[in-house]
Structure 1
Amino acid sequence: MRVPEGAFRFVALDVETACSDAASICQIGIACVRADGGIESWVTLVDPQVRFSAFNVRLHGIGPEQVLGAPDFARAIAPLEPLLSRHLIIQHSSFDRRAIEGAYGVTGRAAPGWRWGDSVRIARRAWPEFIGNGGHGLGHLKEQLDLRFEHHDAGEDARAAAEVVLHAERRTGLGFEALLGPGRR
């Protein structure tokens, strides 16, 4: 599958991990949002080169057999770097950024200074009534916004995070930059 090309409004990114170590990325997914609201997705398995925990395998269904022959993190992220360096990256909570930074650290490289935003922050501004009433996790937003995706698949979760932002923009009449507000991270 080819990495989407071009200029996008933003790129949503999600990762799945092999174990409790955030750097143990075993899947990367992105969802690139075009000016017209269309979404181009891309996903790859990653060989984290660490042991998988039973909990994580049950959560996302990815184990050592699935990543056999997949690229390691350095090779998997390389084709994404030009795209991600040009766009604001939306994550759903701060986990994905921590995972990416941790995985870069394992390779001996410093993480790039990409611009990050959080769709949880956007959702809190668009749906304050969910605070203390189900929250702003993807599982609850899936129900409330009638999103259709397979949770705990990096490509699907990235697309869901992108759709949360688009729903929030429609609900509030504000663009994602305004919804993120100052101090985007």
Structure 2
Amino acid sequence: MFLPDAPLPDGLFRFIALDVETANRDAASISQIGLACVRRDGGIETFSTYINPDQDFASFNTELTGIDARTVREAPSFAQAWRRMLPLLSRHLMVQHSNFDLTAITAACRAAGLNGPKMEWADSVKIARKAWPEFRGNGGHGLGHLKKALGLEFHHHDAGEDARAAAEVVLLAEERLKCPIEDITGKIKHLQLAFEF
């Protein structure tokens, strides 16, 4: 169910993990965006919104996510949701679990006539590979395997839940490697990068 008045997290966070779900094979067909905002104390504030992609839903995607045209009927368009989230996202280091999320956001921006996101991104798959090299060839570094291997509890293929899981992977990797995400990835902390419409 879409909750139009759900507040976005507010403030300055260490980093924000983002995950998307799509309606079909078109990367621009985003049907849900989830955020997990990591506070300085390690706490996580989450936000999730359905998106009306104005596209048909493939049965495979609906079976995977549980999202269909009825779910998103009253949800905002990508452009509406992205403009709302951008002031928060643009001032933080962003985390995605693989490159799919940035690819989808870029495609959705292009389809909506918006310039692509000018933000700094880190990949929690690459972070997990550094922290747990023993998983290579032994289950891998996808969220499905990490859920079992690291004892994470989340509902896979829900954007909000997957974003939180990606954030937890980073926090566990920081603990294991004994250094912050910025040292693991070489990214600059809290970049103030603009987004151009």
In the superposition, the TM-score normalised over structure 1's length comes to: 0.97
Q: Which residue of 2 aligns with 1:120?
A: 125
Deviation at 1:103, TM superposition (A): 0.2
Deviation at 1:77, TM superposition (A): 1.1
What is the CA deviation profile of residues 42-90 of structure 1, one whole-angstrom value per residue up to 9, with x for unaligned ones?
0000000001100000000000010011101001111110111100100
Q: 1 CA distance for matches of 2:114 and 2:18?
A: 20
Q: 2 CA distance for matches of 1:180 and 1:148?
A: 25
Deviation at 1:178, TM superposition (A): 1.5
SS for the counterpart of 2:114 is coil
Q: Which residue of 2 aligns with 1:167?
A: 172
Q: Which residue of 2 aligns with 1:53?
A: 58
Percent identity (aligned): 59
Deviation at 1:112, TM superposition (A): 2.3
Q: Which residue of 2 aligns with 1:99?
A: 104
Q: Which residue of 2 aligns with 1:37?
A: 42
In the superposition, the TM-score normalised over structure 2's length comes to: 0.91
Q: Which residue of 2 aligns with 1:21?
A: 26
After TM superposition, list the pairs within 5 Å mapping 1:116-155 onto structure 2: 116-155=121-160
What is the CA deviation profile of residues 93-112 of structure 1, one whole-angstrom value per residue up to 9, with x for unaligned ones?
00000000000000111112
Unaligned runs of at least 5 residues, structure 1: none
Superposition RMSD in Å: 1.1
Q: 1 CA distance for matches of 2:182 and 2:139?
A: 25
Indicate which of 151, 174, 178 corresponds to 2:183.
178
Indicate which of 76, 80, 83 corresponds to 1:78.
83
Q: 1 CA distance for matches of 2:165 and 2:69?
A: 26
Deviation at 1:142, TM superposition (A): 0.2
Q: 2 CA distance for matches of 1:7 and 1:109?
A: 25
Q: 1 CA distance for matches of 2:119 and 2:33?
A: 16
Unaligned runs of at least 5 residues, structure 2: 1-5, 188-197
What is the CA deviation profile of residues 3-28 of structure 1, one whole-angstrom value per residue up to 9, with x for unaligned ones?
00100000000000000011100000
Number of residue-to-residue matches in the alignment = 183
Letter in 2 for 1:102: A
Q: Which residue of 2 aligns with 1:89?
A: 94
Query: Normalized per residue, which structure has more helix?
Result: 1
Q: 2 CA distance for matches of 1:38 and 1:54?
A: 36
Letter in 2 for 1:13: L
Q: Which residue of 1 aligns with 2:190?
A: none
Deviation at 1:181, TM superposition (A): 3.6
Deviation at 1:177, TM superposition (A): 1.2
Q: 2 CA distance for matches of 1:112 and 1:151?
A: 25
Letter in 1 for 2:126: R
Q: 1 CA distance for matches of 2:70 and 2:117?
A: 30
